[in-house]
Amino acid sequence: MLKTKDILDEKNKILRKVSKEVTFPMDKEDLKNIDLMVEYLTNSQIDALAEKYDLRPGMGMAAIQLGVPKRYLTIVHEVEEGTFDTYVIVNPKIVSNSLEKIYVEDGEGCLSVNREVDGIVPRYARVTVEGFDTEGNKISIRAREELAIAFQHEIDHLNGILFIDHIDKKNPFKDQDKYRAI
């Protein structure tokens, strides 16, 4: 079982690496990592388990956060209390996006950034992400709002970018009135 301490902290230089494309068939180690990531994300959103195992709540995770510079990510999205949609996407690419931009009103968070960060991170309100499942089959996912933000956040990780890089250092709430809060 993954623990919060297994997730790389923002100070770790590996997080700034651009991850490499995955070839198929996938390595057993990568498939195991995916299972661990999904398990962590699911358990971290169930209060009793998060408390029992001391897990920081998270919705998404990219392989690079475990020190694996490969292009795959997982998102576990709670659609209603105790019900989750799980997404695993290999070699993801955003192929289209809305013009409208949004931001997380309470601030975006990250399992690799273990501190409060003030500021807004403008993100597209809707995105279409294409990639592959773990078997190498092509998949396409249309995401909006919170889920769209999660995909953009995790794909950033694969490119060595952290959400804090999107926040204007001199004016953390710059252009806030131009975007919709969610």
- What CATH number is associated with residue 148? 3.90.45.10
Question: What's residue 168's pLDDT?
Answer: 95
Confidence band of 87 (pLDDT split at 50, 70, 90): very high
| Bridge partners for 32 per DSSP | none
Q: 78, 100, 135, 154: which one is catalytic?
A: 154
Mean pLDDT, range 2-26, rounded to an integer: 97
Question: What's residue 50's pLDDT?
Answer: 96
Question: What's residue 2's pLDDT?
Answer: 95
Q: How far apart are CA 91 and CA 138, in angstroms?
A: 10
Q: What count of residues does the chain have?
A: 182
Mean pLDDT, range 5-15, rounded to an integer: 97
Q: What contacts 43, CB < 8 A, 6 or more positions away?
A: 49, 50, 53, 55
Question: What's residue 100's pLDDT?
Answer: 98
The number of distinct structural domains making up the chain is 1
Question: What's residue 85's pLDDT?
Answer: 98
Confidence band of 175 (pLDDT split at 50, 70, 90): very high
Identify the domain containing residue 73 by its residue range: 4-181
pLDDT in tens, 102-153: 999 999 999 999 999 999 999 999 999 999 999 999 999 999 999 999 999 9
Confidence band of 57 (pLDDT split at 50, 70, 90): very high
Question: What's residue 164's pLDDT?
Answer: 97
Confidence band of 1 (pLDDT split at 50, 70, 90): very high
pLDDT in tens, 58-76: 999 999 999 999 999 999 9
80 is catalytic: no
Backbone torsions φ then ψ of 33, nearest 5 degrees: -60, -45
